[in-house]
Amino acid sequence: MMNLDKIGEFGLIERILKKIKTDRSVICGIGDDTAVISYTKDKYLLFTTDMLIEDIHFTRKEATFPQIGRKALAVNISDIAAMGGIPKYAVVSVGIPRDLCVRSADDLMRGINTLAKEYMVNIVGGDTVRSDKIILSVSLIGEVKKSDLTLRSGAKTGDLIFVSGTLGGSRKLKQFNFIPRVKEAQEIIKKFRPTAMIDLSDGLAADLQRIAQASKAGAVLFKELIPLSRGATVQSAFYEGEDFELLFTVPLEAVCKFYKKDKFPITCIGKIVEKKKGLALINKQAKSTPLRQKGFKHF
């Protein structure tokens, strides 16, 4: 009998996907940052969920209870941002040990509520259960103008690859206080009309692979252009994860028209190429090496 570690997280998702059937109201189901659902004449609903589990996604030693609660909502807001949307309504389910003090439970919700207020997200329900460790599961609904919807699957050969902010070292530096890039995504869409976009949760290498796979394309990255956080390495930028920045692709003509590096917090780091060329990293000596496909994996 085969165990999950043999097929991995995405092998499991592929198996689930083969058994799922949806009706015409589902514009995009499994396979992007959020589901996309029919809504109004000019808008879609966005629907996403994420889960944090103690000793897998966080420990009580490395984060306060408000920080843990904040992150549980923030990772979902980041997904909505990557689709070009605005977050609106959330339900929060919590598994907590029976011996957790009431103040700690209050602090978890305080972290969620503070961020919800900042992004004007309405907390409209949820569930509570007893568990051996702390578990936070948030489901979030957003909305997006049909003209603004940005999937992973639209990158074209010749598009340039951009990233917001800086990468690497985020597990220590900013995984509990990162800023979901909702405003930045709206500005990117307004100025550049990106062809594909994703939020960087599992590392640059893994999430670039997702855009490439969905777009049936390859990609070349330039090592010296990767914007690194202070003290971070290229290895951590590629494989560590928890950055929650935006990775997106833009047609060359849009870049030439709008891009001004000194006025916009984004960096051009590469180019979309034909699928047969795969994913590669080029250094300043013009040496090309295949980009290894690894990053955070549950199984």
pLDDT at 52 over 70: yes
Q: Which of 155, 154, 236 is nearest to 200 (CA)?
A: 236
**CA dihedral sign, ordered 166, 263, 117, 186:** negative
* CATH classification (class only), 20-147: alpha beta
pLDDT in tens, 147-200: 999 999 999 999 999 999 999 988 887 889 999 999 999 999 999 999 999 999
pLDDT at 10 over 70: no
Q: What is the pTM assigned to this prediction?
A: 0.93
Helix (H/G/I), strand (E/B), else coil: 9:
helix
Instruction: Parse the chain into domains and list their residue ranges.
Output: 20-147, 150-290
Q: What is the pLDDT of residue 11?
A: 73
Helices marked H in the chain? 4-19, 65-82, 102-118, 170-173, 182-192, 204-215, 234-239, 252-258
Token pair 């330039």 is at which residue?
222
pLDDT at 299 over 60: no
Helices marked H in 28-165? 65-82, 102-118
Selecting from 3.30.70.3270, 3.90.650.10, 3.30.420.40, 3.30.428.10, what CATH number does the domain 150-290 have? 3.90.650.10
pLDDT in tens, 255-279: 877 666 556 689 999 999 999 999 9
Angle of helix 65-82 relative to helix 102-118, nearest 10 degrees, comes to 30
**List of residues 6+ apart from 227 with CB closer than 8 A:** 163, 165, 166, 167, 267, 269
Q: Which of 152, 116, 186, 138 is nearest to 36 (CA)?
A: 152
**List of residues 6+ apart from 46 with CB closer than 8 A:** 34, 35, 36, 37, 80, 83, 85, 141, 142, 143, 144
